[in-house]
Structure 1
Amino acid sequence: MLLHRVTTTSERVRATRSRLEKVDLLARTLRDSGTPEPGDDPADTARRIEVVADYLAGTLPQRTVGVGWRGLRELPEPAVEPALTVSEVDRALTALHELAGSGSAATRAAQVRDLLARATASEQQWLVGLVTGELRQGAGDGVLLPAIARAADVPEALVRRAVMLAGFPGPVARAALEGGEAPLQQVCLEVGRPLRPMLAGSEPDVASAVDGGAELALDLKLDGIRVQVHLDRDAEVPVRLFTRSLEEITDRLPEVVEAVTGLPARRAVLDGEVIVLDPDGRPAPFQVTGARTASRTDPAELARTTPVTTYLFDLLHLDGRDLVDEPASVRWEALAGLAPDLVVDRVQTADPARAQAFFDEVVARGHEGVVVKDPQAPYAAGRRGAGWVKVKPRRTADLVVTGVEWGSGRRQGWLSTIHLAARGEDGELVMVGKTFKGMTDATLTWQTERFLALETHREGHVVHVRPEQVVEVAYDAVQTSRRYPGGVALRFARVLRYRDDKSAEEADGLGSLR
């Protein structure tokens, strides 16, 4: 299969707003990827299915290949006609992933240039997006998993559960297209292979999440790094650590490995969070924890100077027993018996007043909030639902829109991502972030008309506008930033409403955000 087929499908998926059309486009390409080609053996066909599924999801089967934006700034002259195959690209990226040692940087640069020189201009741009993780095409789980089900003619629910347990859609697509329902029914939790983490919905306050009916649990919500822990004392690597995105970070956190090694179990899968704490026990800013877990430089020294603290809040497997389908109360009881000193702070109550008091306490200690959990809920990996609901203090700011970016995919034709600015000490506007979250179709329609009327000039996909429109946004935190001239950036900003009752001169200042 030519890479051109995948990139064309990707572009068509990105361009349409119809979910049904997206599913149909993906299903046809997935189905065709399983057609044996001249010279194929069964392993070649199987690998191609897996790779095409990952490519359509915008992910790399290799996860990383050691190439960033710096190595992709200057592209070679593109090929005139598409000739590059999916299998050739996969082999090239696998070779890049495996490069290491002296001289590998120069070899990697040469191999990247050779690969891109064989791609057309549109394929080059698509490959750059794939390698850097910036591929925007709209093929998330909501359309890819139904497409796998349609391509293989199997129930979508079976595909969803298999992907939940396998972590990634590629192997599930291969199994479904090769064997139908039978191999999907055999997919199970495997110690050492990450599964998708359970996610939380959200409510604006404790009263909305705890109504005084059934007893619920409230967990301390940490602003750290989610970690899935796999312990298998019979494996070559007894402890393995994975992030929320299923990236392995075992070698970066020796103190976490040490803590897990001390648990009285032979095999276990646990869910938790790691965070850097200040000497007084208050959480360090998220960036400190993020930098600590991202660094590959001298982990032992970093564990001494900037240690992370391990918190556990769920247990998914213990010594041969899978617990994902058990009620949360059963999982928590087993966790308390296994790792009592590592369990996150938790209260169980049906009393809204007690729940509010716990929320107030943890926020006063500098933490992010709480996660309200149903003791009867199974572990719904990879999905948001009523089983877990997060509650955080809502921080808001009135800011000025200085630019807007055209949307893609379902938002094609609308002005979508807005540039946010605060007033500096000298009264000048200073950019502090961007957001495309919190916008309904009605909002997108209104703001497209509004900002085109305020347009001053364009740069690529950015429409610059007169700084007249104030918007109220909610955000989780303010963090330091070297990207923006004001030195700060909003974390997880989202639109609440546009403020026609306020002028730009009344917008919040940079000092208040700091």
Structure 2
Amino acid sequence: MLFSEVVGTSASVAATRSRLAKVKALAALLRSASDDVVAAVVSFLIGTPRQGRIGAGWRTVVDLSVPPAAEPGLAVAEVDVALAEVAVTSGKGSAQRRVDLLLGLFGRATEEEQDFLRRLLTGELRQGALEGVMLDAIASAADVPGETVRRAFMLSGRLPETAVAALAGGAAELEAFRLEVGRPLRPMLASPAESLDEALDELGGCVVEHKLDGARIQVHRSGDEVHVYTRTLREITKTVPELVELVRGLPCTSVVLDGETLALTDEGRPRPFQETMSRFGAQDERELLLHPYFFDCLHLDGKDLLDEPLRDRLAALRQVAGRHVIPGVQDPTREQAAEVVAASLAAGHEGVVVKSLASTYAAGRRGRAWQKVKPVHTLDLVVIGVEWGSGRRRGWLSNLHLGARDPDGGPPVMVGKTFKGLTDELLKWQTEALRAIATEQDDWVVKVRPELVIEIELDGVQVSPRYPGGVALRFARVVRYRPDKDPSEATTIDEVRALLPAARPAPEA
């Protein structure tokens, strides 16, 4: 398959707002791909090379200059091999060797292919929101149920592997995926609830748990071997020895647990989220100890529990995790549920999560089986630009341009700006971080690659013709940056519009 076919499909997908048209174009390309290049094709289209980071920095890639080829001639397999060679290049002189390899690749690419490669390698092509569209395309191309594809993706953790299995062996191959201790699963997520009472009414039999201001972790243990992963499936085992030691001491031989970890003050209150996240990169376990709180058990001593109701998974969790189970109340009265909320907020946490006790573990979508209740509205938005400050903030990048995720794979949709809630320390960090990912700038505005997620607190949203999505944030304030989240996990424009008063629906986009 020619690389130009991938580039052309990517362009056609970006040019339409129709999800059906996107799925149709992607499925057609996947059907025409040979088995040996399916993984590479999927990786390119979701904006993440199979090799991950190849060792060439943003400036190196942007500065590559070589005349483009007149006609398409590059094969997908050749591009994949070239990127693999760049990725494994190391040692003395490796930086120049990577440049030479990339120049050779770019020299064989047309102008459109060069542009695609630049955006692919700098992260600008990556539309994590396209993941959902790609899952539908895989299901269509392989003629298998979408739920079968999504479950296999949850278990494999990798979209290219899921696509290869679907196209090579259909539903039977996908159903062969099993939970594997030591291989991370995509985590189940919670949807926001309007209120505690509404969540209780909708879910019926439930558990109400503290919602911690921590970092999501997934731990796997087989015998003495322990692995710890983040919510994005990045392994952090070597940087959290205290968690490894704790899990190794649990009363079991094998286990997979889902939970949160956070750093605590001497008084037992949560430290700022940034301190917990910085601990993931600490070199000395004595720098800042992490405390885990587990809320789900997906495997215990040889038995997979994914398809068991939460009520049974919680029984297994209490058996193995003991005092490390997250605080909460099962089958609470309304008064008890309200007391859990009050206790969580009093302890310095965010609120509660209400979970159906009949629910199985399902990842990939924010379903309604888990619902989070917070006292204020918060959104996870993507920083797409920023303005230089004035007055006391002169010289710092200050006023942030905020985008909501397009669920159909387009670029983030701008919904507002804010400079409120930024401390001097955060302003300094933000200025350096955003300048490092700038794509263009003038005397006032700096546009950046959409890769940083930021949590925003707001009073609500209102209809507004000022922004493309038809809505604008009201009294938005910065809570914190979310380095643990990928742009694919940001709040969608549909979720932002859902906050509009019912009597004033958002206009059609």
TM-score w.r.t. the length of structure 1 is: 0.75
What is the rounded CA distance, in whole Å, between the counterparts of 2:340 and 2:208 in structure 1? Answer: 8
What is the rounded CA distance, in whole Å, between the counterparts of 2:467 and 2:288 in structure 1? Answer: 46
Q: How does 1:245-324 map to 2 (within 5 A)?
A: 245-293=232-280, 295=281, 299=283, 301=284, 303-324=285-306
Indicate which of 361, 375, 379 corresponds to 2:357. Answer: 375
What is the rounded CA distance, in whole Å, between the counterparts of 1:319 and 1:130 in structure 2? Answer: 42
What is the rounded CA distance, in whole Å, between the counterparts of 1:405 and 1:377 in structure 2? Answer: 32
How big is the shift at 1:322? Answer: 0.7
What is the rounded CA distance, in whole Å, between the counterparts of 2:405 and 2:137 in structure 1? Answer: 24
| SS of aligned partner of 2:322 | coil
CA contact (8 A) 2:421 2:479 kept: no
How big is the shift at 1:76? Answer: 2.0
CA contact (8 A) 2:31 2:141 kept: yes
Whichever residue aligns with residue 235 of structure 2, its letter is: E
Corresponding residue for 1:418? 416
What is the rounded CA distance, in whole Å, between the counterparts of 1:23 and 1:450 in structure 2? Answer: 22
What is the rounded CA distance, in whole Å, between the counterparts of 2:163 and 2:371 in structure 1? Answer: 31
Whichever residue aligns with residue 204 of structure 1, its letter is: E
What is the rounded CA distance, in whole Å, between the counterparts of 2:203 and 2:87 in structure 1? Answer: 53
CA contact (8 A) 2:354 2:372 kept: yes
Relative to structure 2, which stretch is displaced further, 343-352 or 12-21? 343-352
Whichever residue aligns with residue 194 of structure 1, its letter is: P
Whichever residue aligns with residue 351 of structure 2, its letter is: G
Structure 1 gap ranges (5+) = 35-44, 452-468, 482-490, 499-514
CA contact (8 A) 1:329 1:375 kept: yes
- How many equivalent residue pairs? 445
After superposition, give the CA deviation of every residue in 1:43-84 in whole Å (9 maximum; x if it has no partner): xx33x1112122222233233333443433412225233333
What is the rounded CA distance, in whole Å, between the counterparts of 2:246 and 2:28 in structure 1? Answer: 48
CA contact (8 A) 1:165 1:188 kept: yes
Corresponding residue for 2:390? none
RMSD: 4.0
Corresponding residue for 1:50? 39
Alpha-carbon spacing, 1:212–1:31, altered in 2? closer, same or farther (3 Å): closer
Corresponding residue for 1:61? 50
| SS of aligned partner of 2:191 | strand
Q: How does 1:115-194 map to 2 (within 5 A)?
A: 115-137=105-127, 140-194=130-184
| SS of aligned partner of 1:122 | helix
Q: How does 1:305-344 map to 2 (within 5 A)?
A: 305-344=287-326
Alpha-carbon spacing, 1:98–1:311, altered in 2? closer, same or farther (3 Å): farther
What is the rounded CA distance, in whole Å, between the counterparts of 1:124 and 1:274 in structure 2? Answer: 42
2:24 corresponds to 1:24: yes
CA contact (8 A) 1:473 1:497 kept: no
Relative to structure 2, which stretch is displaced further, 179-188 or 101-110? 101-110
CA contact (8 A) 2:144 2:170 kept: yes
TM-score w.r.t. the length of structure 2 is: 0.76
How big is the shift at 1:348? Answer: 1.9
Corresponding residue for 2:369? 387
Alpha-carbon spacing, 1:97–1:308, altered in 2? closer, same or farther (3 Å): farther
CA contact (8 A) 1:219 1:345 kept: yes
Corresponding residue for 2:69? 80
What is the rounded CA distance, in whole Å, between the counterparts of 1:64 and 1:201 in structure 2? Answer: 31
How big is the shift at 1:392? Answer: 1.5
Whichever residue aligns with residue 276 of structure 2, its letter is: T
How big is the shift at 1:492? Answer: 7.5
What is the rounded CA distance, in whole Å, between the counterparts of 2:232 and 2:311 in structure 1? Answer: 26
Corresponding residue for 1:477? 479
CA contact (8 A) 1:14 1:409 kept: no
After superposition, give the CA deviation of every residue in 1:262-307 in whole Å (9 maximum; x if it has no partner): 12322221111121222222212222222222x2xx62x1x21122
What is the rounded CA distance, in whole Å, between the counterparts of 1:256 and 1:424 in structure 2? Answer: 32
Corresponding residue for 2:223? 233
2:436 corresponds to 1:447: no
After superposition, give the CA deviation of every residue in 1:335-364 in whole Å (9 maximum; x if it has no partner): 111121321112124322221221122112
Indicate the percent of aligned positions where both proteins have the same amino acid: 41
Structure 2 gap ranges (5+) = 380-386, 388-398, 424-443, 447-452, 484-489, 502-509
Relative to structure 2, which stretch is displaced further, 160-169 or 60-69? 60-69
